[in-house]
Amino acid sequence: MRVLVTGGTGFLGSHCVEALAAAGHDVRLLVRTPAKIAATFDPLGVRIESHLQGDMADPQAVDRALEGCDAVLHTAATMYGGADVLEANLAGVRNVIGGAVERGIDPPIYISSVGAMFPPSGPVIRVDDPIGEHETVYGRSKAEGERYVRSLQAQGAAVTNIYPGGVYGPRDPVIGETMKGLRDAIRFGWPITTGGVSIVDARDVAHIVTACLEPGRGPRRYMASGHFLTWSEFTDCCEMLTGKKMRRVPAPPVVVRAFGRAIDVLQRLLPFFEYPLTHEAALFLTQLVPGDNSATEKDLGIEFRPTAETLSDSIRWLAEAGELGPKHAGRLAAEAP
């Protein structure tokens, strides 16, 4: 199949492209910066035969990219940029997924997020849970994108939604927020509070994507939250892998949320100031519950790799990239190429 991929030079997107190419699919990229293609894929030995330069928010560019494609994978999303984030991300979903549906492309695959159903309505997050109300512009953009895609599915469109948790693994071309969070926690200390984190390997999400490339299956939704760890369990695992004792910072949830509120105020006063621990992020950090992956495992034959494997590969890669030294990465730094 010829598969159009947006966000293909990003962390999750690049792993998906690698998996699609390995499965024999012909990948076409829609990219804003073509120079990133060689930098991302040459080291992997992945050859990209087709790409178009353009933005997901540009309907003409997306329409050209969709021409001749059999399937679509939409991973692109903008996190920063103020009010423009909502407009850009929603335009991207409408242009890419909506455009694919109009052309009869089957399947269009949309990478959503566990966060689209946050706050959780029960002890486990399920793919049909209601869409949550969000405080940040980025959070609202993901919720609105999810709402739009569900409206297409309600009309019978064969869109597949995939809901990753926190995505970890090796080879992050830009060192995004998840991997920065892992790096900084190892360096400076782990918040020990309520809630926890859903850890999914980027390579497992890529496997889910390739397993979903089957036309004629109609609308589908799959959880990809991986394994859920409390913050203490997360710290224990990293200590075991690195052989290094890590700082643990007791963080009552009320304090974490108050800190997030303060960050929100600073960002309103100083538009150029960006910091990931918003109040909404603090709620996510202290209130997250596991996701229900049972249908993903049963329908697609997916077996999520052990968390220790994902985290060891993540930390080893951070050491290889110069983001962590032996003082913090311990034995994993010694194993990095």
Whether 120 contacts 195, CB under 8 Å: no
**Per-residue model confidence (pLDDT) at position 208:** 98
Query: What pLDDT is recorded for position 198?
Result: 97
Structure tokens at 55: 């933005």
pLDDT tens track for 135-163: 888 888 989 999 999 999 999 999 999 99
Residue 29 has pLDDT above 90, yes or no: yes
- pLDDT higher than threshold 90 for residue 82: no
Is-catalytic flag, 148? no
Tokens of 30: 């829609």
pLDDT tier at 272, thresholds 50, 70, 90: low
Catalytic residue among 80, 110, 138, 168: 138
Residues 6+ apart with CB under 8 A from 260: 277, 278, 279, 280, 281, 282, 283
Q: Name the band, by pLDDT with cuts 50, 70 and 90, for residue 269.
A: confident
Averaged pLDDT for residues 186-203 = 96
> Which residues are CB-neighbours of 164 under 8 A, at least 6 positions away?
12, 111, 113, 114, 200, 205, 224, 225, 226
83: confidence class by pLDDT, cuts 50, 70, 90? low
Determine the Cα–Cα distance for residues 210 and 160; give it in Å rounded to an integer.
12
> 2-174+197-228+289-305 belongs to which CATH class?
alpha beta
**Does residue 306 contact residue 240 with C-beta atoms inside 8 Å?**
no
Q: What is the mean pLDDT of residues 212-221?
A: 97
Average pLDDT over residues 56-60: 96
For residue 85, is pLDDT > 90?
Answer: no
Nearest to 304 by CA among 207, 162, 220, 160: 207
